[in-house]
Structure 1
Amino acid sequence: MLYICASHMYTIKKSLGQHFLTDENICRKIVESLPVIEGQQVLEVGPGAGAITKYLMQLPGIQFKAIELDREKVQYLEKTYPDIQGKLINESILDATLPFEGQFHLIGNFPYNISTQIMFKVLEWRSHVDVIVGMFQKEVAQRIAAPHGNKEYGILSVLLQAFYKIEYLFEVHENCFNPPPKVKSGVIRLTRLEQPADIASERKFFVLVKTAFGQRRKQLRNPLKTMFDKELMLQDPIFTKRAEELSVADFAALSHKMI
């Protein structure tokens, strides 16, 4: 289904999860949450009609690019903001290769239907992406920022918190968008840790976390029984806990004890 926004001469495609931010104060607040210095490389994900793009392009001395799947929006942005010519990548962030050499910041009002997948992409790129400021569906933002012992705490919380400091910055009301989504939104900032969690290997850590939360209501000795020595599981009381009770450091330590 297409939503027509005649005053702006573009269509809003529900199939792409498009909800365009229209509150200028919120747009500025999001951009101000991204720490930048001169020469900073910045990638915007899903600029849409340019709500925060116009403020990003005003930042002095940054090297800016934006990635947008919707060809119509690319054409609209090029027509509306001539300075953006040559800085737009017309593809999905999920299929993209690294847009810059070296370190870059990532920012966006992320399409809610793929926001979790975008964060897994960030994990793939984490050696290059040092800061992320993103707007998510409120529940997803809360999940990413949740501490252990919280019912929102899960796979995404642990995997991201192993490598990034997470800050839940502020909420955004649904009336700040066109069309208004049926959910509230949350903006978070992720800053890469100088000392990430001490994991045995990425593969072991990811498998451990995903398996543990696969049966999150059960004691860990049940889902993890094939991954650890039986004697260790009998002796170590950590295996009587549930996944949400373990800190990121607990998971990291366990990754070194896997078979």
Structure 2
Amino acid sequence: MKKEKEKYTKDRKNSDAVRAKKHLGQHFLKDETIAEKIGNTLTLEGYKNVLEIGPGMGVLTKYLIEKDIEVIAMDLDQESIAYLEINYPNKNLKIVEADFLKCDISELFGKEQFGITGNFPYNISTQIVFKTLEWKEQIPEFTGMFQKEVAQRICAKEGSKTYGILSVLAQAFYDAEYLFTVPPSVFNPPPKVDSGVLRLKRKEDFSIPCSEKMLYKVVKTAFQQRRKTLRNSLKSFNISDKIKEDSIFGQRPEQLSISQFIALTQKLEKDAISTDE
């Protein structure tokens, strides 16, 4: 790490100071206007801590630290970490070399609430969402940049071809909003696809009247055979004849709203109990 810090002196702020690494899924945003726009996607309502995932050379970080908040910038790339530590010695910025998917979130801000944002590496972006859902009690807001089709999938509504597992599970706990599209030309190196920025705001009441584990299992099983009706795709749940004829089982998964998936999970839970009896 010391050698990396020596390599990146304060006068090296040009775009080639840190190499984008393919295995880390890095595409560095170079458009200041878009970076500022992403920095303003967080409403900061009810919290003053922000975790930025994948800061790279700090194009978004610089707009976050202008705000009256505490920021942690987390990256796996030693070159990026070294560059940030030299060029952004701000009091309200903590730079952490870690893998978000493997880190203990409780060590970041203790028990305090915090938002998440970033230009997320495409190769782990969906995993970032799933980990956020695990820690939803502490994360009231989540914004950031994904591959456009992934962002659209997360925000999709029932009846859409892109509506799926990510849509249902994210929107069971958060209100999802697709904000804007970003072209490949504003990145170095440019990706082969458009990017999309979204916002997830945790619902005021984000508790659900069924087992979360069971909901996840129902949703994932249903969408694994999305062209089949639920009566066929959920056969592994050993549905009793008593509820098998319920009209909901004649539908395909993309036809069900979030509330209907929760209601379906409740039916299956009750059915499992009565069958066991």
Give the structure 2 partner of residue 159 of structure 1. 169
Count the aligned residue pairs: 253
Q: What RMSD over aligned residues (CA atoms) do the two structures have, in Å?
A: 1.7
Residue in structure 1 matched with residue 75 of structure 2 by the alignment: 68
Q: Over residues 196-255 of structure 1, what are the superposed CA-to-partner deviations in whole Å (9 max), with x where a residue is unaligned? A: 363411111000000000100001101212323222112x11111111000000000111
Deviation of 1:97 after TM superposition, in Å, equals: 1.1
Q: Aligned ranges for residues 110-149 of structure 1 at < 5 Å?
A: 110-149=120-159
Q: Distance in 1 between matches of 2:59 and 2:188?
A: 11
1:66, distance to aligned residue in structure 2 (A): 1.2
The 3-state SS of whatever aligns with 2:62 is: helix
* Letter aligned with residue 90 of structure 2: D
Distance change (3 Å), C-alpha of 1:85 and 1:55: closer
Cα separation, 2, equivalents of 1:240 and 1:253: 15
Looking at structure 1, the residues matched to 183 and 236 of structure 2 have their Cα atoms a distance apart, in angstroms, of: 45
Moved more, 212-221 or 37-46: 37-46
Q: Percent identity?
A: 51
Cα–Cα, structure 1 residues 225 and 7, in superposed 2: closer, same or farther, change >3 Å?
closer
Cα distance in 1 for partners of 2:204, 2:15 equals 46
CA shift at 1:79, angstroms?
Answer: 1.1
Q: Which moved more, 1:246-255 or 1:38-47?
A: 38-47
- Scaled by the length of structure 1, the TM-score of the pair is 0.93
**TM-superposition CA deviations, 1:104-132 (whole Å, max 9, x none):** 01110000010000000101111100001
Give the distance between the partners of 2:249 and 2:229, measured in 1 at CA. Answer: 6
Matching residue's letter, 1:66 = A
* 2:42 aligned with 1:42: no
Give 2:99's aligned residue: 92
Q: Name the structure 1 match of 2:5.
A: none
- Relative distance call for 1:21 and 1:241 in structure 2 (3 A) is same
User: Which position in structure 1 is the counterpart of 2:202?
Assistant: 192
Larger radius of gyration: 2
How many Å separate the matches in 1 of 2:205 and 2:135? 17
Shift of 1:195: 1.9
Residues 69-98 of structure 1, C-alpha deviations (whole Å, 9 max, x = no match) = 111110011111122797111111101111
8 Å CA contact 1:168–1:188 kept in 2: the answer is yes
Where does residue 14 of structure 1 map in the other structure? 22
Q: Which runs of 4+ in 1 moved over 6 A?
A: none
Which digits, 9 at most, give the CA deviation of each residue in 1:131-162, with x for residues without a partner? 01110000000000000010000000000000
